Amino acid sequence: MEEKKKIGKPRGVAQLIPDKCIACGARCQSSCPEDAIEMNNKGEPIINIEKCIGCRRCVKVCPADALEMFYTSEEKKLLLEIAASSSGPDTKQVSIEEATAKAETKEYKGVWVFVEHAEGEPAAVSWELLGAGAKLAKSLGVELCSVVIGDKVEDLCKESFAYGASRVYLIDAPVFHYYRTETYNKAICYLVNKYKSEILLMGATGTGRDLAGAVATKLNTGLTADCTSLDVDDRGNLLQTRPAFGGNIMATIFTEHTRPQMSTVRPHVMMLPRKVTSRKGEIVRESFSIKEEDVDVKVLEVIKDKGSGCDLAAAEVIVSGGRGMQGSENFGMLQHLADELGGVVGCSRAVVEAGWMGAERQVGQTGKTVRPKIYIACGISGAIQHLVGMQSSDVIIAINHDKNAPIFEVATYGIVGDVFQVVPAILNNIRELRAGNTCSVSEQITGKE
Amino acid sequence: MLIVTCIKQVPDTSQVKVDPVTGTLIREGVPFIINPFDTYALEESLILKEKHGFRVAVISMGPPDTEVTLRKALSLGGDEAILLSDRAFGGADTLATSMVLAEAIKKLGKKEEVAIVICGRQTIDGDTAQVGPGIATRLGYSQLTLVDHIFDVDMKAKKIRVRRRLEGRHEIVEAPLPAMIAVLREINRPRYPKVPMRLMAQDATVTLWNNKEMGLREDTIGLKGSATQVRKIFSPRRERGEIIGDGVKNPQASARLLVERLKEKNILNL
């Protein structure tokens, strides 16, 4: 598009603002129509100002706002003059492709939540997503629906209503007894193509992530993993915020031109909405099915984990230990405190790697995300990878000898000191208080040590 | 028969820090490493190579210096390394990334039949776990994620039997080949390269495939082929709490104060 020229309006050249580039993966270079950008080995752009035509594409595409337009002082003066003399703002022309894309995305309506279950046993994250989905549906003025696929799973429809869905799309057939990527992917794509949802949410669980990645690829649409907050902008786009770079920064991501907009959310990130069993809704039964003989993947066996007695995700109190615990033998102390508070023991990644605790107890980015009422971090410095897994806990108590440990930045209460002195002291104080309150001392001591 | 291992070179995110004042990332001195999860994918390929005589092709999409990481994969025992690098591939989200990787696997498959594609569980910089499923879907391969054990690969029946780890349970699944498997840390213990191999790998060729070679439509790859866009980036908000007493000098007093505070606020059922 040629610019109409009266006086040549200076276009300037793009320049990098120092320290703002995050090495996102060369979005600027990729957007440049003139090949004016080279990347250095740190992943930052080097702009060839001889080639730059001042089209601003790289500036617009930079997620970190690390690029800006540079004008010489004469150009700046000229710009000011033009601004002063111009009669009105340029009317922006929307390209035809953009307009059709917008019209097409408009056809898609409704917020959908995939109800995950293992042989009929629902994953609570589905209900948490209905809670989050309800807010989105309200802002958009659309319906909140759930998608139930399985074998004899009509119960899950009633539960969906109880947690806020007003409509359920149900596909119920023996071939869907076990989750298999291929069958569930086909079923969901069938529903989306038929009913056109604008948003599709799934749990960031093993199954949810397996399915979401396949569905988004098949539907050729955008998918954002592990969102920690969901919102809607003034044009109705879903704003998906998630940790990036190992949790060091947060990124807000959106899918502009394709539908549905898909997100996964980890368990315990969103609040579980109140269950109202009297709520009713509409069930849309779909007879879509696949012949078992056409599916080559077979689930031969499901082995339930023998309860190690530890359900971190469901615990209201978690007493967690880090490298500062110095050895597996010292975790008994944390167990006593956890027992006293009716909680469980968790740990940081370093502890699992040292072999002091099993991986099922790991809290953090590569472990579990938890949201207990009380999280007590003992000897955990608080690497960002740990913090992203527990920072939405209601109350965080941190005990660490290093007053500069990052854990204190998220802690509600902190004690700088030796865990081996502080933890037993806390335990004693709680026991004394409880003993002094209602129960007899003998009751308190029974079963403990 | 070929095993294709997908790897990525990533910044070591555990060493990235955020400037507390400006909220910007401090990347100075942060090394690029092979995505740790991919080391298990590579190791599993090598184990299968030794057992079944597969050839192992290692592929990676990234900037030109990804060659360093691919060479490391060769020094461990990979037979062939292909670098997918082009400015048109840049700025890709998982949809556009899986496009290039899947097409590269197709291209490899024209010369030699592909039995298995192995990926790591996820990357440490993107953390999405979406590219593996994207590849499987695009190629129509069996998709097996979260694999922590491979029981056997039956080349006659063209089947693979694996164990998948899910929340609170494991699943034993049988699937036809070709299959894409994404593996967990627990599946193996990666080996270290032996010195002679390392030296040999220094001279080994890493094949470059740019988009001239690949011939992919520009609106399906890189930034233009990405369905998602990043609108903004910001540092996580944190609220600093209260430090109670002097726990170094008087741990007893701090502990007592803490418990009192918890009682006051009705946090513990005391």
Tell me the per-residue pLDDT of B232-262, one tens digit each, with 9 for 90 and over: 888 776 667 788 888 888 999 999 999 988 8
Cβ(A433)–Cβ(B259) under 8 Å?
Answer: yes
List, in order, residues 6 or more apart from A295 with CB less than 8 Å away: A175, A180, A182, A183
Distance from CA of B57 to the nearest CA of A (A): 24
pLDDT score of A309: 55
Q: Is B270's CB within 8 Å of A437's CB?
A: yes
Residue B85 has pLDDT above 90, yes or no: yes
A and B: number of Cβ contacts within 8 A: 311
Amino acid making up residue A273: P
Q: What is the mean pLDDT of residues A371-396?
A: 90
Mean pLDDT computed over B215-231: 93
Report the pLDDT value the prediction gives residue A409, as an integer from 0 to 100.
87
Res B138 pLDDT > 50: yes
Q: What is the pLDDT confidence band of residue A283, given thresholds at 50, 70 and 90? A: very high
Poorest-confidence range of A58-62, A92-96, A152-156, A439-443?
Answer: A439-443
| A77-128 pLDDT, tens digit each | 888 888 777 654 444 445 555 666 666 788 899 999 999 999 999 999 999 9
Contact A213 B130 (CB under 8 A): yes
CA distance, residue A444 to nearest chain B CA (Å):
13
CB-based contact A336:A278 (threshold 8 Å): no
Predicted local confidence at residue A97, as pLDDT: 57
User: Within 13 Å of residue B73, how many CA atoms lie on the same side as its CB?
Assistant: 37
Q: What is the pLDDT of residue A265?
A: 95
Average pLDDT, stretch B92-109? 97
How far is the alpha carbon of B220 from chain A, nearest alpha carbon, in Å?
10
Smallest CA–CA distance, residue B50 to chain A, in Å, is 26
pLDDT bin (cut points 50, 70, 90) of residue B31 is confident
pLDDT of residue B175: 98
- The ipTM estimated for the assembled molecules is 0.91
Which chain A residue's Cα is nearest to B270? A434
The CB density around residue A141, as the number of other CB atoms within 10 Å, is 8
Check whether B95 has a pLDDT greater than 70.
yes
Which range of A353-362, A381-390, B79-88 scores highest in mean pLDDT? It is B79-88
For B142, the closest of A248, A297, A385 (CB atoms) is: A297
Question: Token digits for A197?
Answer: 């949802």
pLDDT of residue A277: 95
Per-residue pLDDT, A91: 42
Q: How far is B108 from chain A (nearest CA, A)?
A: 21
* Of the partner residues B87, B142, B254, the one whose CB lies closest to the CB of residue A422: B254
Residue A68: helix, strand or coil by DSSP?
A: strand
Given a contact cutoff of 8 angstroms between Cβ atoms, the answer to whether B131 and B92 are in contact is: no
Taking an 8 Å cut-off on Cβ atoms, the answer to whether A414 and B243 are in contact is yes
Residue given tokens 């997100």 in the structure block: A263
For chain B, what is the mean pLDDT? Answer: 91
* Predicted pLDDT of residue A310: 66
Question: What CA–CA distance (Å, rounded) separates A235 from A252?
Answer: 15
Better-scored residue on pLDDT, A246 or A231: A231
For the beta carbon of residue A218, count every other beta carbon within 10 angstroms.
18
Tokens of A29: 């270079």
Q: B256 — phi, psi (to 5°)?
A: -65, -45
Cα separations in angstroms, A276 against A127, A160, A164, A272, B21: 12, 10, 8, 12, 46
Q: Which residue of A has its CA nearest to B256?
A: A429
Torsion sign over Cα B182, B188, B189, B192: negative
- Looking at per-residue pLDDT, the higher value among B87 and A7 belongs to B87
Q: Judge: B127–A243 Cβ closer than 8 Å, yes or no.
A: yes
* Whether pLDDT at A308 is above 60: no
Q: What is the pLDDT of residue A290?
A: 94
pLDDT band at A441 (very low <50, low <70, confident <90, very high): very low
A27-53, pLDDT tens digit by residue?
899 889 889 999 988 889 999 989 999
DSSP letter, residue A258: S
**Which tokens go with A88?**
């009105």
pLDDT at B149 over 50: yes
Which of A226, A396, A426 has the CB atom closest to B258's CB atom? A426
Whether residue A300 and residue B161 make contact (CB cut-off 8 A), yes or no, is yes
CA dist., res. A288 & res. A295, Å (int)? 15
Tokens of B270: 């005391």
Chain A residues in contact with B229 (beta carbon < 8 A): 61, 63, 253-256
Query: DSSP 3-state assignment of A61?
Result: helix
Closest CA to B78 of B176, B190, B212, B160: B190
pLDDT at B74 over 70: yes
More confidently predicted of A63 and B172: B172
- Mutation pick from A29, A60, A217, A305 vs chain B, by most beta carbons of B within 10 Å, is A217
Residue A446 pLDDT more than 60? no
**Which of B103, B189, B230 is the best mutation test for A, with the most CBs of A within 10 A?**
B230
Interface test with A, best of B18, B22, B65, B95 (most A CBs within 10 A): B95
Q: Are B34 and B50 in contact (CB under 8 A)?
A: no
Q: Is A374's CB within 8 Å of B167's CB?
A: no
Question: Which one is predicted more confidently, A448 or A131?
Answer: A131
Residue-averaged pLDDT of chain A: 88
Q: In this predicted structure, what is the pLDDT of residue B160?
A: 98
**Searching chain B, which residue's CA lies closest to the CA of residue A316?**
B268
Can you tell me the distance from the alpha carbon of A140 to that of A236, in angstroms, rounded to the nearest whole number? 7
